[in-house]
């Protein structure tokens, strides 16, 4: 009976629990003994291993976070930590691993494969910045949270004829800002991939006022950097709010959504995607092809080589940004 471990690593994402549930239940159905590793690679280093049967993963499909807990593990980047992680796998006779997480976590899975540990990677990150996968677990839930918040902010923005600068997550990727902004009817969307000057932002707000718009919603990814700005240490969203207030164009408020975006019950889409990924991760072992990272191509689950991580991620689409701008007029 192969013994397969599963861990969640990096920033948590709604739907991770649904992925654990599906992985464990498909695994036991295939005759595997399933084990959980707590706190991602940190737990792997420390030998934090627990048995997982079908009952252990009951009642979690609707829960955000991850029952296995998660961590970012700087130790796993170092040789001593890596050797301890390999020792844990040996001590618990773990034949293969399923890693649920974002780019850094999948790089860890790639490294384990290179050490001869059959490891499948499953994309889960609200940032949707994983090369080769159109969607990752958690993205849809985070987007729905952002849209819900934008709806609420628009109510008060309209009532007070204010501009709201809303910072969303995404240090390197503007996917949440782009898609959340489009779905939430934002007037301006600012992404790390497309630097724009503060003056340009002010011009767009002015254009809106000239068009008779009494309020505006400006969605800013946390990794956005204003073109030509020297204020590297200041939050870009705060810099925009300050500039708009200084110009006296419109009364402005700042809202940082922060970790609210990472919590909450996963959407139906994320539960279904996570369940499909879970089954595909077990299938990869059954088909003797575990050295893969799974991806979603917009239709189905596709296994890809880990070298896919070397390519740029193409989920932020200029055409969508143009569309969002056109429909904001």
Q: Hey, which residues are catalytic here?
A: 127
Choose the stretch contacting ligand F6P; rule: CB under 6 A; options: 51-59, 110-118, 165-173, 306-314: 165-173
In the list 88, 110, 125, 275, the residue contacting ligand F6P (rule: CB under 6 A) is 125
Applying CB under 6 A, which part among 17-25, 168-176, 276-284, 297-305 lies near ligand F6P? 168-176
Mark 308-326 as b/e (b = at least 16 C-beta within 10 Å).
Answer: bbeeebebbeeebbeebee
Q: Which two tokens stand for residue 325?
A: 């701008």
Shortest separation between residue 71's beta carbon and ligand F6P, angstroms: 9
Q: Does 143 bind ligand F6P (CB under 6 A)?
A: no
Instruction: Name beta bridge partners: 77.
Output: none
Question: Of 35-43, 59-67, 112-120, 123-131, which segment contacts ligand F6P by CB under 6 A?
Answer: 123-131
Structure tokens belonging to residue 6 = 């599963």
| Range 72-111, binding ligand F6P (CB under 6 A) | 72, 102
Residues 6+ apart with CB under 8 A from 116: none
Task: Give the number of residues written for the chain.
Answer: 329
Q: Write down the least CB distance from residue 221 to ligand F6P, Å.
A: 9
17-76: contacts with ligand F6P (CB under 6 A):
72
- Rule CB under 6 A: say whether 127 interacts with ligand F6P: yes
Cβ atoms 216, 187 nearer than 8 A: yes
Using the rule CB under 6 A, is 126 a contact of ligand F6P? yes
Q: How far is the CB of 81 from ligand F6P (least distance, A)?
A: 18
Which two tokens mark 11?
């920033």
Burial class (CB in 10 A: 0-12, 13-18, 19+), 256: middle
Residue 290 sits in the site that holds ligand F6P (CB under 6 A): no
Cβ atoms < 10 Å from Cβ of 200: 15
Angle ∠(217,324,140) on CA atoms, nearest 5: 85
Task: Read off the tokens for 169.
Answer: 């997550």
315 touching ligand F6P, by CB under 6 A: no
Chosen residue from 152, 160, 171, 227 binding ligand F6P by CB under 6 A:
171
Nearest Cα to Cα of residue 252 among 156, 169, 180, 171: 156
Residues that bind ligand F6P (rule: CB under 6 A) add up to a total of 11
Binding piece for ligand F6P, criterion CB under 6 A, among 59-67, 119-127, 269-277, 284-292 = 119-127
Which residues bind to ligand F6P, rule: CB under 6 A?
11, 72, 102, 125-127, 169-171, 222, 262
């Amino acid at each position: 009976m192969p013994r397969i471990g599963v861990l969640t690593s990096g920033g948590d994402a709604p739907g991770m629990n649904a992925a654990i549930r599906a992985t464990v239940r498909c695994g036991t159905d295939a005759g595997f003994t399933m084990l959980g590793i707590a706190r991602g690679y940190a737990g792997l280093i420390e030998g934090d291993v627990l048995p997982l049967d079908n009952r252990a993963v009951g009642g979690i499909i609707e829960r955000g976070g991850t029952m296995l807990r998660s961590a970012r593990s700087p130790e796993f980047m170092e040789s001593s930590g890596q050797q301890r992680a390999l020792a844990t796998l040996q001590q618990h006779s773990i034949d293969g691993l399923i890693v649920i997480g974002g780019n850094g976590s999948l790089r860890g899975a790639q490294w384990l494969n290179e050490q001869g540990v059959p490891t499948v990677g499953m994309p889960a990150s609200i940032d949707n910045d994983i090369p080769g996968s159109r969607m990752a677990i958690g993205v849809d839930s985070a987007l729905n949270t952002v849209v819900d918040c934008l709806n609420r902010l628009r109510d008060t923005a309209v009532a007070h004829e204010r501009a709201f600068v809303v910072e969303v997550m995404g240090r390197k990727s503007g996917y949440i800002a782009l898609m959340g902004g489009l779905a939430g009817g934002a007037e301006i969307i600012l992404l790390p991939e497309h630097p724009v000057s503060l003056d340009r932002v002010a011009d767009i707000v002015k254009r809106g006022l000239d068009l008779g718009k009494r309020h505006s919603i400006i969605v800013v990814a946390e990794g956005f950097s204003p073109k030509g700005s020297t204020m590297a240490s200041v939050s870009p969203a705060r810099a925009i709010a300050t500039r708009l207030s200084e110009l006296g164009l419109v009364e402005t408020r700042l809202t940082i959504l922060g970790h609210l975006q990472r919590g909450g019950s996963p959407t139906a889409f994320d539960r279904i995607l996570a369940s499909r990924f879970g089954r595909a991760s077990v299938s990869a072992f059954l088909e003797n092809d575990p050295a893969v990272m799974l991806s979603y191509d917009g239709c189905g689950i596709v296994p890809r080589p880990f070298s896919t991580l070397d390519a740029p991620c193409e989920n932020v689409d200029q055409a969508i940004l143009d569309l969002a701008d056109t429909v904001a007029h």
